[in-house]
Amino acid sequence: MVLEVMGRDVGWIAIAAGIAGGADVVLIPEVPVSMAKVAAKLKAVSAQGRNHALVVVAEGVRLPPETDLKADCRSAGGIVADMIAEATGAETRVTVLGHVQRGGSPNAFDRILASSLGAHAADLAARGLSDRIVIWDRGKIVDVPLSSVAGQTRALKLDGTLVETARRMGICLGD
């Protein structure tokens, strides 16, 4: 199963979904993909007797240079699924979550975090403060100038905790 998630520029959602969902392969924009390595991982999974594998693909995945995503009308997940099928001979299905992934039911942590952020934002508004954004930073609710984050993309660090965790779990990142 190939599961395409949002992530045109960065792979935060894909790497987190892959870890949480027990993916075998996670393909993110930060790591150029070797389909030979992806195919080898999937063949190894099959050799273990499993008849299924999960591949999470960020929509902005960096596929091999000969693959032109812009000229192809399929989604990145669809292209990856076809490449996997060709390389492994396995039946490969694709699901594109799109904006559906934003509509899950909140858990207790989500509710507490949202309430804390909202209460802080309401306090800022009551004090007449604007042009601020409320964030969770190192376990605390704080506000920072909106200009300090607007228009910026926060890169996924390849030596950071999420990537390190994925690699330790045996998740192939395509490299």
Q: What is the mean pLDDT of each run of 10 residues along the chain (175 residues)?
A: 95 97 97 95 96 96 74 82 94 89 87 97 97 94 94 91 97 96
Same domain, 159 and 125: no
pLDDT tens-digit readout, 57-77: 999 998 877 776 565 667 899
Question: Are 74 and 127 in a shared domain?
Answer: no
Question: What is the number of structural domains in the chain?
Answer: 2
Q: Is residue 96 assigned to a domain?
A: yes
pTM: predicted TM-score of the whole model, two decimal places:
0.85
Would you state the pLDDT for residue 70? 60
3-state secondary structure the chain: CEEEECCCCCCHHHHHHHHHHCCCEEECCCCCCCHHHHHHHHHHHHHCCCCCCCEEEECCCCCCCCCCCCCCCCCHHHHHHHHHHHHHCCCCCEEECHHHHHCCCCCHHHHHHHHHHHHHHHHHHHCCCCCEEEEEECCEEEEEEHHHCCCCCCCCCCCCHHHHHHHHCCCECCC
> 121 lies in which domain range?
108-148
Q: Give me the CATH number covering residue 82.
A: 3.40.50.460
**Tell me, what's the pLDDT at 172?**
98
| pLDDT given for residue 72 in this prediction | 62
